[in-house]
Chains A and B, each alone.
Chain A
Amino acid sequence: MIVLPGQKVADAAQPGQGVFIEDNKTYASTLAILRDGRVIPQKGQYKPLVEDFVVGLVKDVQFNGYHVDVNAPFESFISNRESLEEFKAGEVVSAKVVEVNELHEATLSQPRKFPPGTVIEISFVKVPRVIGRNGSMLDMIKTATGTEIFVGKNGRIFLTGGNIKLAIKAIGKIDAEAHTQGLTDAVKEFLEKNKENDA
Chain B
Amino acid sequence: MSTTNPPKPLFREDGKRLSGREDTDLREIKMQVGIFKKAQGSAMAEWGKNKVVAGVYGPKEVFPKFLADPYKGIIAARYIMAPFSGAEEHGRAGPNRRSLEISKVVRHVFENNVLLQEFPKTGIDIQMEVIQSDGGTRVTAIAAASLALIDAGIPVYDIVTPISVGKVGGKMVVDLDKDEDNFGEGDLPMAFSLRTGELLLWQMDGLISRDELEDGLNKGFEAAQKVRVVQEAALKEKYGDFNGSDTGQN
Task: Check whether chain A touches chain B (CB < 8 angstroms).
Answer: yes
* A residues lining the B interface (CB < 8 Å): 1-2, 4-6, 18, 20, 22, 27, 29-31, 33, 35-36, 41-45, 47, 73-74, 102-104, 123, 128-129, 132-133, 179-184
In the complex, which of the residues A1, A6, A74, A183 contacts B195, with contact meaning CB atoms closer than 8 Å?
Answer: A6
- A20 contacts B157, C-beta separation under 8 Å: yes
Cβ of B201 to closest chain A Cβ, rounded Å: 16
In the complex, which of the residues A20, A30, A74 contacts B150, with contact meaning CB atoms closer than 8 Å?
Answer: A30
On whether A73 and B119 interact (CB within 8 A), knowing A6-B193, A180-B243, the answer reads yes
- A128 contacts B242, C-beta separation under 8 Å: no
Complex contacts, A30 vs chain B, CB 8 Å: 150, 153-156
User: Does chain A have a CB within 8 A of B121?
Assistant: yes
User: Does chain A have a CB within 8 A of B5?
Assistant: no
On whether A1 and B242 interact (CB within 8 A), knowing A73-B119, A104-B120, A129-B250, the answer reads yes
Complex contacts, B64 vs chain A, CB 8 Å: none
Complex contacts, A73 vs chain B, CB 8 Å: 58-61, 119, 122
- B115 contacts A29, C-beta separation under 8 Å: yes
- B156 contacts A5, C-beta separation under 8 Å: yes
* Total B residues in contact with A, Cβ cutoff 8 Å: 39
User: Does chain A have a CB within 8 A of B106?
Assistant: no
Give the dominant DSSP class at A's interface: loop
In the complex, which of the residues B60, B70, B158, B241 contacts A5, with contact meaning CB atoms closer than 8 Å?
Answer: B158
User: Does chain A have a CB within 8 A of B236?
Assistant: yes
Cβ of B230 to closest chain A Cβ, rounded Å: 13
Give the complex CA separation of A170 and B159 in angstroms: 34
- A2 contacts B61, C-beta separation under 8 Å: no
Give the complex CA separation of A36 and B246 in angstroms: 5
15 extra interchain contacts, Cβ-Cβ under 8 A, other than A31-B150, A44-B155, A181-B249? Answer: A5-B156, A6-B159, A18-B155, A20-B115, A27-B195, A30-B153, A35-B248, A42-B153, A43-B151, A43-B153, A74-B121, A104-B120, A128-B250, A133-B250, A179-B241
User: Does chain A have a CB within 8 A of B25?
Assistant: no
Residue of B nearest to A136 (CB): B250
- A184 contacts B157, C-beta separation under 8 Å: no
- B248 contacts A29, C-beta separation under 8 Å: no
Give the complex CA separation of A128 and B58 in angstroms: 23
The winner among A2, A5, A182 for most chain B CB atoms within 10 A is: A5
